[in-house]
């Protein structure tokens, strides 16, 4: 605690120096104006009346009344004195020896003041002082100002017990990553236990992962658990217009860390200064010098015991290999997107800050947010709270949660006039997706809802609610997903004709193409191509040939891709044609209600019949036939 107080006092002194310089400078100027002016204060007579003001004489008056002048005091071009009758005067004259001899011949007493006033000295020395300050700030500014700039940018040091700390309790959904970093906290608390065995704590830990996964939050939690000073900076803070500024900042930052060791030094977005050094002639010399200084400070001749450097980035591939070697960043912790259990923990953590209705099931919310990061989940609850306030709810309901999720995933709801023909076509399009999804319900995720309310660029959508997180997909699941994706286009063809198909299936076709190409060229699920990786490279947005493949293999990949998509489209057409009336009934209900839940969709498809096993049997048979036909 004493060391922390010393840090705060030093930073206060560094900041307060300017509070002394600026007022002092202002006082100097005010003093110059007050005491260096040309006017004089007139004394007050004993009876309280002001005496007569001095008479102003012109140069010609001085020549004419030279015999009447009794005294004359000359300072520069200004003259003051008294006449024979006691009258005071002021005049502006030109230095002329003949004039002075003439006045002295009349019996006048003449005195010349050649000294300089304070104002004259200030006007003379002030420009030189400005030049001195300019050069002092130019050469001393980067070093003298870095500690204040870092302190100003990063107030997230561990303060006294009155300030709120961030601990591992405030971090949820990444239990494995927290376990990796517990050794850092244990070392900062119990150094002797490690030194007794000759163990060396990692000098640096690199936190990487997708944006919003909690890298910065985890770094603050480490400092909070260890209760040590925490200094933070961004990679962009070390770049500037002046060459060598980044090197000076790196030096000063590590010097400050050494004075306050043990401590944690956190550099966010470290890829800004840690990019790979180039061998080209036209490279960024200043950035590379900054990187070289960082490499030296992290593991040079100096032994920075007690300083643990934490780096955070989502572009590990851009970092220089010298920065990633043991001795600098000894440990790399990749923070993945949270799984189902992690999402539930994150929602539970942030749900304490909002008011949820009793019927809101956070597990259902977690199931419907696959791929969401911790920041996305926090934003989801915030959007739900904003929607609840907007519609006048006193608690966040399931409807608010669904609206917030749809807004984040698809965009805000569009309030626009849609033609009846387009609305009807959209209803049949989404009904096609929903029916084929229910057809393959035994191997795909259950339907959450279907809607024809436009959002973003989409006129409608069918959402699924995963039961759990999938780490892989079987070939049967891949083919079922392809059929579901192309079922919307198939419904348009069946119910409106081939000449009435629209561009609404653009995203469906793009998604199906990506899934099919991945399955064929990367996952090795094609019998014709085999288990060979023929990934298509796409550098800087340009198109190029397939890697590790000849022209013949590339042509085989294109033919196999078309075969998979044609088979999926044919399968969707077959399923919808055989159940035409049911699909029409489902589309009609969508036109009436605009949104159908998963239970409502299943009731419409099953027509509320008590026997519910028959569709499952037909689904299994159809799926088996589909597999056989496609493999041919």
List strand residue ranges (DSSP E) for 201-240, in order: 204-209, 230-234
Give the per-residue pLDDT at 504: 85
Of 117 and 180, which is predicted with more confidence?
Answer: 180
SS (H, E, C) 584-613: HHHHHHHHHHCEEEHHHHHHHHHCCCCCCH
What are the percentages of helix, strand and coil residues in the chain, rounded to 5?
Answer: 55, 10, 35
Q: Is the pLDDT of residue 217 over 90?
A: no
Q: How far apart are CA 532 and CA 560, in angstroms?
A: 14
Residue 401 three-state SS: helix
Lowest mean pLDDT, pick from 281-295, 316-330, 502-516, 554-568: 281-295
Sequence length of the chain is 632
Give the per-residue pLDDT at 607: 75
Q: Is the pLDDT of residue 165 over 60?
A: yes
pLDDT tens digits, 230-279: 888 888 777 765 556 778 888 888 888 888 878 888 888 888 888 887 76
Cis peptide before 97 (omega within 30 of 0): no
Residue entry with tokens 């870092």: 150
Reported confidence tier of residue 624, pLDDT bands at 50, 70, 90: very low
**Number of neighbours of residue 25 by Cβ within 10 angstroms:** 12
Reported confidence tier of residue 146, pLDDT bands at 50, 70, 90: very low
Q: How far apart are CA 629 and CA 624, in angstroms?
A: 9
Reported confidence tier of residue 17, pLDDT bands at 50, 70, 90: low
Tokens representing 377?
């989940």
Query: In sequence order, what DSSP letters do the residues of 177-205 get, joined into one string?
Result: HHHHHHHHHHHHH-HHHHHHTT----SEE
Give the per-residue pLDDT at 519: 92
Give the per-residue pLDDT at 139: 58
Give the per-residue pLDDT at 611: 36
Longest dimension (CA), the chain: 139
Residue entry with tokens 């005067």: 89
Give the per-residue pLDDT at 511: 92
Residue entry with tokens 């011949």: 105
**Number of neighbours of residue 90 by Cβ within 10 angstroms:** 15
pLDDT tens digits, 386-421: 999 999 999 999 989 988 988 888 777 776 677 888
Active site residue 430: yes
Q: Is the pLDDT of residue 201 over 80?
A: no
Lowest mean pLDDT, pick from 183-192, 406-415, 536-545: 536-545
Mean pLDDT of 166-185: 82
Lowest mean pLDDT, pick from 26-30, 393-397, 462-466, 533-537: 26-30
Which of 103-112, 131-140, 298-307, 525-534 reaches the highest mean pLDDT? 525-534
Q: Is the pLDDT of residue 132 over 90?
A: no
Mean pLDDT of 328-336: 87
**What is the overall mean pLDDT for the chain?**
76
Question: Which own/partner contact pairs does 358-365 have at CB distance under 8 Å and 24+ positions apart?
Answer: 359/397, 359/398, 360/396, 360/397, 360/398, 360/401, 361/398, 364/465, 365/401, 365/405
Give the per-residue pLDDT at 302: 59
Set 297, 430, 492, 560: catalytic member? 430
Element (H, E) at 211: none
Lowest mean pLDDT, pick from 24-38, 83-97, 543-557: 24-38
Dihedral angle sign, alpha carbons of residues 178, 183, 188, 189: positive
pTM higher than the cut 0.75: no
Q: Is 157 exposed, middle or buried (0-12, 13-18, 19+ CB in 10 A)?
A: buried
Give the per-residue pLDDT at 282: 54
Percent of the chain with pLDDT over 70: 75
pLDDT tens digits, 68-125: 777 888 776 777 888 877 788 888 777 677 777 777 777 777 777 766 666 666 666 7
Give the per-residue pLDDT at 259: 83
Of 296 and 237, which is predicted with more confidence?
Answer: 296
* Ordered structural domains, the chain, with CATH: 55-115 (3.30.720.210), 143-335 (3.40.50.300), 340-410 (1.10.8.60), 420-631 (1.20.58.760)
Give the per-residue pLDDT at 119: 64
């Amino acid at each position: 605690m004493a060391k922390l107080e010393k840090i705060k006092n030093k930073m206060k002194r560094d900041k307060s120096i300017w509070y002394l310089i600026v007022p002092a400078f202002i006082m100097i100027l005010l003093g110059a104006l007050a005491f260096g002016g040309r006017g004089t204060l007139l004394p007050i007579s004993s009876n309280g009346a002001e005496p007569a003001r001095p008479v102003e004489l012109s140069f010609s008056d001085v020549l004419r009344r030279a015999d009447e002048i009794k005294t004359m005091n000359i300072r520069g071009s200004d003259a003051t004195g008294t006449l024979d009758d006691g009258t005071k005067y002021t005049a502006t004259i030109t230095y002329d020896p003949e004039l002075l001899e003439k006045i002295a011949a009349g019996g006048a007493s003449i005195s010349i003041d050649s000294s300089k006033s304070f104002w004259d000295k200030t006007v003379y020395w002030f420009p030189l002082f400005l030049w001195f300050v300019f050069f002092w700030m130019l050469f001393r500014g980067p070093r003298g100002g870095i500690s204040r700039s870092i302190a100003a940018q990063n107030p997230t040091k561990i303060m006294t017990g009155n300030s709120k700390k961030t601990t591992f309790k405030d971090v949820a959904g990444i239990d494995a990553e927290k376990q990796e970093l517990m050794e850092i906290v244990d070392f900062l608390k119990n150094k002797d236990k490690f030194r007794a065995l000759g163990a060396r704590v990692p000098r640096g830990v690199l936190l990487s992962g997708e944006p919003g996964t909690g890298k910065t939050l985890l770094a603050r939690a480490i400092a909070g658990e260890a209760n040590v000073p925490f200094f933070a900076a961004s990679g962009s803070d070390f770049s500037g217009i002046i060459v060598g500024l980044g090197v000076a900042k790196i030096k000063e930052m590590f010097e400050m860390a050494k004075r306050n060791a043990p401590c944690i030094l956190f550099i966010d977005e470290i890829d800004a200064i840690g990019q790979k050094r180039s061998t080209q002639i036209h490279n960024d010399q200043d950035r590379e010098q900054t990187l070289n200084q960082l490499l030296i400070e992290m593991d040079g001749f100096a032994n920075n015991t007690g300083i643990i450097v934490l780096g955070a980035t989502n572009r590990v591939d851009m970092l220089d290999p010298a920065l990633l070697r043991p001795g600098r960043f000894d440990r790399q912790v990749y923070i993945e997107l949270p799984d189902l259990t992690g999402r539930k923990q994150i929602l539970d953590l942030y749900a304490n800050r909002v008011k949820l209705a009793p019927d809101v099931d956070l597990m259902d919310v977690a199931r419907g947010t696959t791929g969401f990061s911790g920041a996305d989940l926090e934003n989801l609850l915030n959007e739900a709270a904003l929607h609840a306030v907007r519609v006048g709810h006193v608690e966040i309901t399931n409807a608010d949660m669904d609206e917030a999720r749809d807004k984040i995933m698809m965009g805000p709801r569009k309030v626009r006039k849609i033609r009846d023909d387009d609305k009807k076509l959209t209803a049949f399009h989404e009904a096609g997706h929903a029916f084929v999804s229910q057809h393959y319900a035994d191997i795909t995720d259950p339907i959450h809802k279907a809607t024809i309310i436009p959002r973003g660029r989409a006129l409608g959508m069918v959402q699924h609610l995963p039961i759990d997180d999938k780490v892989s997909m079987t070939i049967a699941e891949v083919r079922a997903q392809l059929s579901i994706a192309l079922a919307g286009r198939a419904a348009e063809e069946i119910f409106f004709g081939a000449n009435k198909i629209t561009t609404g299936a653009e995203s469906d076709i793009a998604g199906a193409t990506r899934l099919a190409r991945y399955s064929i060229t990367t996952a090795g699920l094609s019998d014709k191509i085999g288990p060979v990786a023929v990934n298509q490279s796409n550098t800087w947005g340009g198109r190029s040939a397939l890697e590790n493949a000849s022209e013949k293999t590339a042509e085989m990949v294109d033919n196999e891709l078309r075969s998979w998509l044609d088979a999926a489209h044919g399968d969707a057409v077959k399923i919808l044609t055989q159940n035409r009336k049911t699909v029409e009934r489902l589309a009609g209900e969508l036109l009436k209600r605009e949104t159908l839940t998963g239970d409502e969709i299943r009731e419409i498809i099953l027509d509320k019949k008590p026997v519910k096993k028959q569709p499952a049997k037909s689904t299994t048979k159809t799926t088996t036939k589909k597999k056989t036909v496609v493999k041919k």
